[in-house]
A and B are shown apart, each in its own frame.
Chain A
Amino acid sequence: MMNSSRNRQFHEIAGQLRLIWKEPILFVFIILIFYFLFTFVAYPLFQVIKYSIFIDGQWDFSNYLAIFSKRYYFQPFINSIILGICTATIGTIAGFIFAYALTRTPLPFKSFFRLTATFPIISPPFVVALAAILLFGRAGALTPWLKNIIGNYSVYGLGGLILVETIAYSPTAFMVLYGILEAIDPSLEEASMDLGAARIKIFSSVTLPLATPGIASAWLLVFIQSMADFGNPMVISGNYRVLSVQAFLQITGMYDLPRGSTLAILLLVPTLIAFFVQKYWVSRKSYVTVTGKPTGATIKNLEWYIKLPVYGACLLYAGIVILFYGTIVYGSFQTLWGVNPTLTLQNYVEMFEVGKDYLIDSITLSTIATPITGIVGIFISFLIIRKKFIGRGLMEFISMLTFAVPGTVVGIGYILAFNQESVVMPVVLTGTAWIIILLLVFRNMPVGIRSGIAALQQIDPAIEEASTDLGADSNTTFRKITLPMIAPAFFSGLAYSFVKAMTAISAIIFVVSGQWNLITVAILGFVDNTQYAHAAAMSMLLIVIVLIALGLIQFIVGKIGKGVRTTEILG
């Protein structure tokens, strides 16, 4: 019996190989993708691990021993975890309130609130930290007022970090929870009410339990982002040392690659754990499947004692977001923040003189990286969902890995892996534009893959089979049938990749060079020199460019999306 089952497995594998063999182009693509994934995802990661445990070619755990025995090294680990937990908790609560208000209450101006809830996603995260300094820093606009209330304080440190990271990353929680709450059928809540439950009971016995897996997911995702955040701590952490910044300083400040790598591993472990818990455990517990099909939400008359606090919280949060970004706008036009409030365009002129090369590099490299990210991402999602081949699970695993790995770890991995020739990459990439492009492509791909997977899962495989059945090979089917149907997902993936490429900082800061540099690095430089007005002006410019690009992609989707109504016939 055992033997025959093994025999059969062998036959199946042989059969699959035969099929692949008959589609040589597909086969070549699969091999190519594996090569790229191994070289640009797995290999750098492997290098970081290697550098942390090998010293002069010998197994040696002295790096780890040093870190665990010296408080100086160990403290950042504790600090990062504390920061992650606080940010995740507050961010998830804020995201939930917003998601609840938007899906379950007749909140007026919903699209306005949705915009403010998601806006931080399209700005570089550390812009929030910059705004916090302008508002609450030593020369902050609101500093005297706040000092009156709470006495002496410093925005640099854990408190400031939690504030800015909550604003920067609660949108993630909001989006997850919005999807979940929207997918929970309101008739379940109506049923509960019909059976005699009061409002609070409905919430605690139906809504909350159904949303719990979503809440856990949101919490873990914000935790990962907060742990991995580099830009905000770089600007505002002060004496509160966190792993991402410490790893960066070890490498760029002290040229201590092994110790930097070891800190990176310490950063990697908790984020990876959180990621796998989220992906393989929490998401399986979910009762609701997010189909993208909104259920016919019926909004009942809510009592004032629910509306009042929920609306109040939304208003407060939206106010804070507007205050922060408004400060950036206002600050970018001031002659000298806190000293000379005369409005001027001088900052923009000076910023542009210094930063135009950075700007051109950023736009050029992002524009090259974005389509590659989109195409490779959508192709990988197609392979994962629709094709049977040996190693499919491995492909999915590796391509999702970059999503969980903090940028700092990836950046360190890239300099370790590509500043010398190796078997997998016979050319030195460090200092070239390619290393930046490749880093952008493989950092941002998981989102493209995810949206591709989501779109493909909604398309009946029979449609693609019909094409194959009519004589089209895999390539033709992909080009003529699959691609047009997932075009909207493809373009939203593109939009996201472009935004991420333009606003990237944590990994990219390791691979920029004199020749190729990026706008986010320039902004960070301005902040470092306390040229806050210039930093604000450049952030404004960046946000405007991103908005224009988003508008452009939206326009293209509108053009192409016409006539594509996949869901209608699939219904």
Chain B
Amino acid sequence: MKNNYLELKDLIKIFGSGRDSVTAVNNVSLKVNEGELVTLLGPSGCGKTTILRMISGFELPTSGKIFIDQEDVTTTPPNKRPTAMVFQNYALFPHMTVAQNIIYGPKIHGENSQSAKKKADDIMKLVGLEKFGNRSPSQLSGGQQQRVSLARSLIMEPKVLLLDEPLSNLDAKLRVSMRLEIRKLQQRVGITSIYVTHDQEEAMSLSDRVVILKDGVIQQIGTPLEVYARPDNCFVADFIGKANFLNTVVEDVTPDGDVTINLLEQKLIIPKAKKSFKKNDKAFLVLRPESIILEKKKPDTITGIIREIVFLGNQMTYIIEIAKQLVTVEMSNPQECESFENGEEVSIKLPVRSLHLLPWEEEK
């Protein structure tokens, strides 16, 4: 397995010129190892598709370089690149059958039709399309069209597989099963993949690593667990899952990086905080709704007042006022948990491991 199989170096893409210019991608650098599946995740307009199109060669970077397997492909035309793309709308050739679609690439590369056919049969079996070779794409369901698109790319044995929101046109249930299928397939073939999506759940469930983008700038790169548990900034914390942000002030910092804060006269110690803080810094305490534990009121604890209760079946959601700020708490398996009433004062337990502190941001 090669490290840095795909490398993006200081990529910048500016569309238009002069006053109307838009910086779609701003100084993006990324290294992807062989066989890894990396997701580009972000809201629409964050530049993720532009990055993908630069890797595939459909857009030229304004500056920066792209390497695949140590080779500089920055200006290589798309038809000469060792990449294959799965398009958002599948982009199947409407005038060809499924088999003709799949065999198109090998034929272009001058492969003789017998070996190409053999390959196509194998690939169709791999994606479960063996019975559909003679159908026209318009006779297939969305999920099947998706598979054809995937097969058409996989048959090329590309060095990098690019997937541009491949599941966005499918209905919710199919999306879930297709994403498991794609992940299994990707691992079985061991193909290096870049996957673009705006669906954070999709990104979390699929990826080896997630790249979170905003306004063309990388916000954080990490494993799904990392970006969820220890987000680098408020945007990431808010974009991945749900998060409560509590205003607080740093009381003390030890040389080891343990940070003490004061929340409602209670001292909380955050061991080995990810960011560096100084005494009296303003900061946000980031709390995931499911990590907060509610108890009947006890003395010498952090307390809050329940302001709203929503029952969702598999979970109970409480909105609680703590130090004049509203905090969302989610409790799973509500039948087994203690229940509280609107207006009740409750004690709040914050498990040390799920505490995460971020520097204070103006906009938040």
Given B62, B79, B137, which contacts A469 in the complex, CB threshold below 8 Å? B79
A439-481 near B? 1/0 per residue, CB < 8 Å: 0000000000000000000001011011111111100100011
**A466 touching B108 in the complex, CB below 8 Å, given contacts A9-B17, A15-B60:** no
Q: Does chain A have a CB within 8 A of B14?
A: yes
Q: Which one of A5, A469, A476 has the greatest number of beta carbons of chain B within 10 Å?
A: A469
Nearest B-chain residue to A388, judged by Cβ: B60
Q: Does chain A have a CB within 8 A of B257?
A: no
Nearest A-chain residue to B97, judged by Cβ: A563
Which stretch from A18-26, A47-55, A73-81, A344-352 is at the chain B interface?
A: A18-26
Residues from chain A with Cβ under 8 Å of B188 in the complex: none
Given A11, A15, A473, which contacts B79 in the complex, CB threshold below 8 Å? A473
**A467 touching B93 in the complex, CB below 8 Å, given contacts A19-B75, A476-B108:** yes
Cα distance A496–B219 in the bound complex, in angstroms: 56
**A465 touching B105 in the complex, CB below 8 Å, given contacts A15-B75, A19-B77:** no
Cα distance A473–B77 in the bound complex, in angstroms: 9
Q: Does chain A have a CB within 8 A of B289?
A: no
Cα distance A481–B152 in the bound complex, in angstroms: 15
Residues from chain B with Cβ under 8 Å of A284 in the complex: none
Q: Does chain A have a CB within 8 A of B85?
A: yes
* Contact, CB under 8 Å: A12 / B91: no
Nearest A-chain residue to B15, judged by Cβ: A12
Q: Which of B41-78 contact A (CB under 8 A)?
A: 56, 58, 60, 62-63, 75, 77-78
Q: Which one of B56, B80, B94, B145 has the greatest number of beta carbons of chain A within 10 Å?
A: B94
Q: Does chain B have a CB within 8 A of A115?
A: no
> Nearest Cβ distance between residue A571 and chain B, in whole angstroms?
9
Nearest A-chain residue to B58, judged by Cβ: A465
* Contact, CB under 8 Å: A471 / B109: yes
* Contact, CB under 8 Å: B14 / A563: no
Cα distance A427–B219 in the bound complex, in angstroms: 66
Q: Does chain A have a CB within 8 A of B89?
A: yes
Q: Does chain A have a CB within 8 A of B104?
A: yes
Q: Does chain A have a CB within 8 A of B21?
A: yes
Given B21, B78, B90, B152, which contacts A468 in the complex, CB threshold below 8 Å? B78
* Contact, CB under 8 Å: A471 / B79: yes
Nearest B-chain residue to A461, judged by Cβ: B91
* Contact, CB under 8 Å: A472 / B136: no
Q: Does chain B have a CB within 8 A of A149?
A: no
A1-19 near B? 1/0 per residue, CB < 8 Å: 0000100110110011011
* Contact, CB under 8 Å: A469 / B138: no
* Contact, CB under 8 Å: B104 / A470: yes
* Contact, CB under 8 Å: A570 / B94: yes
Cα distance A472–B14 in the bound complex, in angstroms: 27
Nearest A-chain residue to B61, judged by Cβ: A15
Residues from chain B with Cβ under 8 Å of A19 in the complex: 60, 75, 77
* Contact, CB under 8 Å: B105 / A569: no
Q: Does chain B have a CB within 8 A of A86?
A: no
Q: Does chain A have a CB within 8 A of B88?
A: yes
* Contact, CB under 8 Å: B14 / A8: yes
Cα distance A131–B10 in the bound complex, in angstroms: 74
Assign chain A's interface to a size class. Answer: 35 or more
> Nearest Cβ distance between residue B5 and chain A, in whole angstroms?
19
* Contact, CB under 8 Å: A467 / B104: yes
* Contact, CB under 8 Å: A469 / B56: yes
* Contact, CB under 8 Å: A5 / B93: no
**A468 touching B17 in the complex, CB below 8 Å, given contacts A462-B89, A485-B94, A568-B138:** no
Residues from chain A with Cβ under 8 Å of B94 in the complex: 463, 485, 564-566, 568-570
Residues from chain A with Cβ under 8 Å of B85 in the complex: 465-466, 469
Cα distance A472–B79 in the bound complex, in angstroms: 6
* Contact, CB under 8 Å: A462 / B91: yes
* Contact, CB under 8 Å: B95 / A485: yes
**A12 touching B60 in the complex, CB below 8 Å, given contacts A463-B92, A485-B95:** yes
> Nearest Cβ distance between residue B177 and chain A, in whole angstroms?
22
Q: Does chain A have a CB within 8 A of B84?
A: yes
Given A8, A470, A476, A570, which contacts B156 in the complex, CB threshold below 8 Å? A470
Residues from chain A with Cβ under 8 Å of B89 in the complex: 460, 462, 570
**A463 touching B91 in the complex, CB below 8 Å, given contacts A8-B14, A472-B79:** yes
B120-150 near A? 1/0 per residue, CB < 8 Å: 0000000000000000111000000100010
Q: Which one of B85, B88, B108 has the greatest number of beta carbons of chain A within 10 Å?
A: B108
> Nearest Cβ distance between residue B63 and chain A, in whole angstroms?
7
Residues from chain B with Cβ under 8 Å of A472 in the complex: 79, 104, 108
Cα distance A473–B80 in the bound complex, in angstroms: 8
Q: Does chain B have a CB within 8 A of A186?
A: no
Q: Does chain B have a CB within 8 A of A431?
A: no
> Nearest Cβ distance between residue B53 and chain A, in whole angstroms?
9
Given A469, A470, A484, which contacts B95 in the complex, CB threshold below 8 Å? A484
Q: Which one of B78, B85, B136, B156 has the greatest number of beta carbons of chain A within 10 Å?
A: B78
> Nearest Cβ distance between residue B198 and chain A, in whole angstroms?
18
Residues from chain A with Cβ under 8 Å of B21 in the complex: 5, 8
* Contact, CB under 8 Å: B91 / A471: no
> Nearest Cβ distance between residue B184 and chain A, in whole angstroms?
24
> Nearest Cβ distance between residue B15 and chain A, in whole angstroms?
10
* Contact, CB under 8 Å: A563 / B75: no
Q: Does chain A have a CB within 8 A of B313?
A: no
A interface vs B, CB < 8 Å?
Answer: 5, 8-9, 11-12, 15-16, 18-19, 22-23, 460, 462-463, 465-473, 476, 480-481, 484-485, 563-566, 568-570
- Smallest CB-CB A-B distances: 7 pairs: A470-B105, A462-B91, A466-B91, A15-B60, A568-B138, A462-B87, A463-B91
B interface vs A, CB < 8 Å?
Answer: 14, 17-18, 21, 56, 58, 60, 62-63, 75, 77-81, 83-85, 87-95, 104-105, 108-109, 136-138, 145, 149, 152-153, 156
20 contacts between A and B (CB under 8 A): A18-B75, A19-B77, A22-B77, A463-B91, A465-B58, A465-B91, A466-B93, A468-B78, A469-B56, A469-B83, A469-B153, A470-B84, A470-B104, A470-B105, A470-B108, A481-B93, A485-B93, A563-B136, A566-B95, A569-B145
